[in-house]
Amino acid sequence: MSRDANQTTDDLRILHALERKVLWLASWTIHNANHIRENVDGLKVGGHQASSASLATIMTALYFKVLRPQDRVAVKPHASPVYHAIQYLLGRQTREKLADFRAYKGAQSYPSRTKDTDGVDFSTGSVGLGVAQTLFASLVQDYVRAHGWGSDRPEGRMIALVGDAELDEGNIFEAMLEGWKQGLRNCWWIIDYNRQSLDAVIREGLWARYEALFRDFGWDVVILKHGSLQQEAFAEPGGDKLRDWIDHCPNPLYSALVFQGGAAWQRRLLKDIGGEPEVRALLDRRSDDELAALMTNLGGHDLPTLLDAFARTTHDRPVCFICYTIKGYGLPFAGHKDNHAGLMTVKQMETFRAAMDVREGREWEPFEGLAESGEALQGFLNAAPFATRPAQRAQPPRIETPAELSVPLQPVMSTQAGFGSILNEIGKQQSAFAERLVTTSPDVTVSTNLGSWVNRRGLFAQQALADTFKDERIPSTFEWAFSPHGQHIELGIAEMNLFILLSALGLSHEINGERLLPIGTLYDPFIARGLDALNYACYQDARFILAATPSGLTLAPEGGAHQSIGTPLIGMAQDGLAAFEPAFVDELAVIMAWAFAYIQQDGEVPPDSDWLRDEAGGSVYLRLTTRPIEQIARTMTPELRREIIDGGYWLRKPGPNCQAVIAFSGAVAPEAVQAVGLIAEDRRDVGLLAVTSADRLNAGWTAAQRAREAGRAQASCHIERLLAPVPSHCGIVTVLDGHPATLAWLGSVHGHRVRSLGVEHFGQTGSIPDLYRHYGIDTAAIIAAAEALTPGRPIRHLRALG
Ligand SMILES: Cc1ncc(C[n+]2csc(CCOP(=O)(O)OP(=O)(O)O)c2C)c(N)n1
Ligand SMILES: [Mg+2]
């Protein structure tokens, strides 16, 4: 044998041993969490031993041999124990965290970038999202390199380990179409084709649909159906009949036979094809156990087949590997259709332990029960290409951002126009800040006012593409030319794609070691369309700015169906996302300047922090509108700037005998201002509170209360300080073009009575005044609410307005 062949045989022997160990450790981790920890703290969890086992071979091949340090992987959620076991063997996961799997601060049930400590590249959990994340991560890698950054580092492959039922998620196909448009490269999707979902065995012949689909989108498809044992058996006399039988066996029957084992295989194969003497002889040459090993030797459980397929893929085109596997491979419930949450019983685990040669008390020993020497195994692990990846993620320096953003103010303008104008001004600059900014939009670039920015900075594409209208000298407001230097990524209309792309752009500093400042735009109501992906991006701690515009009823003339009501509440509730709804453009400029710094923060939050965790940073959501309103001519003081960021300020300070306060957010500013003017004629010392961020006001209040409860008596927050001078008999009317609950809590801060105005129903078309009247957020409604809430004579202007 040549030296290379010897080496391959040695490697294979060791990899087989590691595959066995990975299967043991993953199964033991889950068993330990259920049967051992359970007695301690009642932590009863799902099994998922079967789902993990399905990927044990593929992940062994990848992590110990195939992956290079620059490759990044999204691991199917239920393969988490396999992932952690592998990192444990590589010395990147602790035994304590494995023993605490799924427990407080232990290894996470689904791989988590933020909560796990063993280098998870992409979180997974909500199926389909991690898969698409790898595609967009690959596009972002290309974006970064096309802009001349990071070219000293080798290109990585973005790899997803995908459950076959996961492929039912539509967002995966939306992503594939976008990938085709954008010239996707360096992306591998490895499908764990175990033909089982959570509930049952999946539909027959899906692989053929996948194959056609992937090829249509420009992917290579590699099907790994039969392992090397099967290939050898097919070469024996009668082997072709066996292959034919396997190829035509329905999925449920195959699964059932896998579960039943060797004797059942013998019976069934003898009955179906044993009449042929050659087949009979082929079967007779094998014991029941050997036959079971042969029949479960599918491509996805066969190291030589996997290694060969991965090694052959040296090009950079996207590849889909369809790997036939068995859910629960190597475990007693392999193939059973109900095995999804299956968990080995204590007795089954004892049998499994004996089969794995693991002695009691030595369950966590890395090399226990393996025939290879510890030295050889450790040497192999140390030499794995992946093992040279630094344990720490890249932390590129922050990009310096301006303390103030200039914006030419018009006397009357909308926050959306202001947003476009601010970006246009940035677009004129030659600075690292302007260069690192990247915008993206799902076919609403022009209608969300990114047009002038795009005119200045161009659209991004790997290959330059001129603007035909310009070349033909047809006048047009917008230049639509693509180049590798462009700074806007135009997406098709798929909001899921927008959020997953933002997730990828917003992790570039850690994935590519190159920081980007991403801004995405969409119509506010369509946040709901991509909400799970937005949540996913935040969960991964991706950093971006989201400009959602138009919003609320202000979109009404275009169609009642487009009105957003609940988004302010989403903004408050979404972890990792600071939500703002400015009314005036100078406020927006302040918020955006702050946001560019905030999305780069990653500091520790001091333990005694009673405020907003600003040190830790996060993403930012701007709820904007197309409604032009009168701007305020004023000087932006440092104090006002601070208050705008903290969430609110007095536009008109309440006097000492204040009877009514109007608190408003966003587009309803003109109604609130007018109402206060009119109410002031019949009520004393009326106050007008501009709320720029209900989210941050509320978060500060919650934090302050918690801090006081923890004994820090001096803790206070912005809204407490703002409302402190308001007499207790005073009523507060809150109003916004969104759900009234957004501001309804203001009364609880100091116990004021509150009437919350907002929008609870939607669907009416009309002008903004029509709709504000219809839904009760116009001036008259504000005055009526103030009148009902406060003692005194009727407010005279109420009738005049009607
Ligand atoms: C968006 C979403 N819906 C539902 C679930 C619940 N769920 C978890 S795994 C699973 C089935 C996965 O099947 P498959 O992808 O084939 O993986 P396998 O269990 O076969 O390994 C489901 C429905 C989820 N995690 N995410
Ligand atoms: Mg499956």
Report residue 718 as tokens. Answer: 């912005």
Cα 619 from Cα 576, distance rounded (Å): 6
Contact 740, 565 (CB under 8 A): no
For residue 34, give the DSSP letter. Answer: I
**Residue 167 Cα: closest atom of ligand 1:** 15
Is the per-residue pLDDT at 42 higher than 90? no
Q: What is the pLDDT of residues 83-133, one digit of tens each?
A: 999 999 999 999 999 999 999 999 999 999 999 999 999 999 999 999 999
Q: How far is the CA of 79 from the centre of ligand 2 (A)?
A: 11
Q: How far is the CA of 327 from the centre of ligand 2 (A)?
A: 7
Contacts of 413 (CB under 8 A, 6+ apart): 421, 585, 628, 629, 631
pLDDT band at 34 (very low <50, low <70, confident <90, very high): confident
Contact 118, 85 (CB under 8 A): no
Q: What is the pLDDT of residue 59?
A: 98
Residue nearest ligand 1's atom 19 by CA: 51
Pick from 157-166, 220-229, 238-247, 464-473: least confident: 464-473
Does residue 127 line the site of ligand 1, with CB under 6 A? yes
Q: What is the mean pLDDT of residues 505-534?
A: 97
Cα 345 from Cα 45, distance rounded (Å): 14
Kindly state the percentage of the chain with pLDDT values over 90.
82
Q: What is the pLDDT of residue 365?
A: 97
- Report the predicted TM-score, pTM, of the whole model to 2 decimal places: 0.96
Sign of CA dihedral 585, 588, 593, 596: negative
- Provide the greatest CA pair distance for the chain: 105
Give the mean pLDDT of the chain: 93
Report residue 417 as tokens. Answer: 């126009």
Report residue 666 as tokens. Answer: 């966003």
Alpha helices in 147-261 (DSSP H): 170-182, 206-216, 228-235, 239-248, 251-260
**Residue 127 Cα: closest atom of ligand 1:** 26
Cα 314 from Cα 364, distance rounded (Å): 37
Is the pLDDT higher at 547 or at 339? 547
Is the per-residue pLDDT at 372 higher than 90? yes
Q: What is the mean pLDDT of residues 479-507?
A: 96
Q: What is the pLDDT of residue 200?
A: 79
Contacts of 786 (CB under 8 A, 6+ apart): 660, 662, 675, 679, 683, 686, 731, 733, 755, 795
SS3 791: coil
Residue nearest ligand 1's atom 21 by CA: 51
Is cis: bond before 318, omega within 30 of 0? no
Q: What is the pLDDT of residues 276-325, one digit of tens each?
A: 999 999 999 999 999 999 999 999 999 999 999 999 999 999 999 999 99
> Chain centroid to CA 10: how far?
40
Q: How far is the CA of 295 from the centre of ligand 2 (A)?
A: 18
Q: What is the pLDDT of residue 685?
A: 87
Q: What is the mean pLDDT of residues 151-177?
A: 96
Q: What is the pLDDT of residue 226?
A: 97
Ligand nearest to the CA of residue 329, numbered in listed order:
1
Q: What is the pLDDT of residue 95?
A: 97
Is the per-residue pLDDT at 611 higher than 90? no
Q: What is the pLDDT of residue 604?
A: 84
Cα 686 from Cα 50, distance rounded (Å): 66
Please tell me the number of Cα atoms within 13 Å of 301 on its side-chain side.
23
Contact 520, 489 (CB under 8 A): no
Cα 146 from Cα 781, distance rounded (Å): 55
Q: How far is the CA of 201 from the centre of ligand 2 (A)?
A: 8
Contact 506, 543 (CB under 8 A): yes
Q: What is the pLDDT of residue 6?
A: 77
Is the per-residue pLDDT at 205 higher than 90? no
Sign of CA dihedral 360, 367, 304, 7: negative
pLDDT band at 452 (very low <50, low <70, confident <90, very high): very high
Q: What is the pLDDT of residues 649-673, one digit of tens each?
A: 999 999 999 999 999 999 999 999 9
The DSSP-derived string for 293-329 is: HHHT-BGGG-HHHHHHHHHH--S-S-EEEEEE--TTT
Cα 590 from Cα 152, distance rounded (Å): 37
Cα 615 from Cα 334, distance rounded (Å): 48
Is the per-residue pLDDT at 763 higher than 90? no
For ligand 1, mutation pick of 131, 197, 298 (most atoms within 8 Å of CB)? 197
Cα 563 from Cα 557, distance rounded (Å): 10
Residues around ligand 2, an ion, CB closer than 5 A = 163-165, 194, 196
> Chain centroid to CA 522: how far?
17
Does residue 54 line the site of ligand 1, with CB under 6 A? yes
Q: One-letter amino acid identity for 675?
A: A
Q: What is the mean pLDDT of residues 20-37?
A: 91
pLDDT band at 610 (very low <50, low <70, confident <90, very high): low
